[in-house]
Amino acid sequence: MKNEKSNGKVAFITGANRGLGFETARELGKIGTRVIIGSRDAKRGEAAAVKLREQGITAESLGFDIRNTRDHQKAYDYLAEKYDRLDILVNNAGVWKESDTSSPTSVPTPPSALSPEILHETFDTNFFATVALTQKLLPLVRKAPAGRIVNVSSILGSLTLQADPASPVYSYKAFAYDASKAALNAFTVHLAHELRDTKIKVNSAHPGWVKTDMGGPNATMEVSEGGKTSAQLATLLDDGPNGGFFHLGQAVPW
């Protein structure tokens, strides 16, 4: 099966062999975007690309570990050689290390007891490596007619909602994860400001509480819905928002 309605755009999505990343690739692929799946496990990445191709989507895979800076260069070289630009970067790869989300009774470690190792590992993936990859690929995004960068965040990274006793997330706190996503949101604001006079748009996405391995079985959204927000922000028109935080078109407070 072949997708006949290519829109000529190229998207690189990290952590896309399953879950939110895979669904984002599917959403973008359905509208004719060529999607490149970044996956730590090259075999699983290629298997995911095959599934998409079977649905008529133009999909490729790239063995990619966001915590490996050599892979950042590999991704740059791959995209530069094949396409000489990158239209869409979806920073989807992320980790949660503080509790077992598959268990409804599992409670995240309180900040007073959180190990430095968990804090560092979470930030290394969710923030530092994501920033470094974006910096590496930004020259290719600048070459696109209208580049889009989507940082996959979480409502748990909203300091406004975390501090509000009336908010739905007030009683659920995972310090390392939440803080890493708040930092990622700060990166969104600052990078969007830097690029405000270009055609590039940078936004944070809250995909929702989705039934993925990270979200757990008690989540309220199906996996098939998990990529919609990222795909929306990846395909914004020229008059769309820049430097915002959104879920399915609705603004999320910082």
Helices (H) and strands (E) in the chain, counts: 8, 8
Domains, the chain, ranges and CATH? 10-251 (3.40.50.720)
Q: Residue 51: its pLDDT value, please?
A: 96
pLDDT tens digits for the chain (254 residues)?
455 577 899 999 999 999 899 999 999 999 999 999 999 999 999 999 999 999 999 999 999 999 999 999 999 999 999 999 999 999 999 999 997 666 666 788 899 999 999 999 999 999 999 999 999 999 999 999 999 999 999 999 999 999 999 998 898 899 999 999 999 999 999 999 999 999 999 999 999 764 455 555 554 446 667 789 999 999 999 999 999 999 999 999 99
Q: Residue 219: its pLDDT value, please?
A: 45
Element (H, E) at 72: helix 69-82
Q: Residue 103: its pLDDT value, please?
A: 60
Of the CA atoms within 13 Å of residue 192, those in its CB half-sphere come to 20
DSSP 134-192: HHHHHHHHHTSTT-EEEEE--GGG-HHHHT-TTSTTTT---HHHHHHHHHHHHHHHHHH
The total of other beta-carbon atoms located within 10 Å of residue 241's CB is: 15
Q: Three-class SS of residue 197?
A: coil
Residue 26's identity, in one-letter code, is R
Q: Residue 172: its pLDDT value, please?
A: 87
Q: Residue 35: its pLDDT value, please?
A: 98
- Tokens describing residue 98: 């503080």
- Tokens describing residue 176: 């390392």
Q: Residue 213: its pLDDT value, please?
A: 55
Query: Hey, CA dihedral for 66, 208, 161, 186, is it positive or negative?
Result: positive
Q: Residue 211: its pLDDT value, please?
A: 44
Q: Residue 86: its pLDDT value, please?
A: 98
Exposed, middle or buried by CB within 10 Å (0-12, 13-18, 19+), for 30? middle
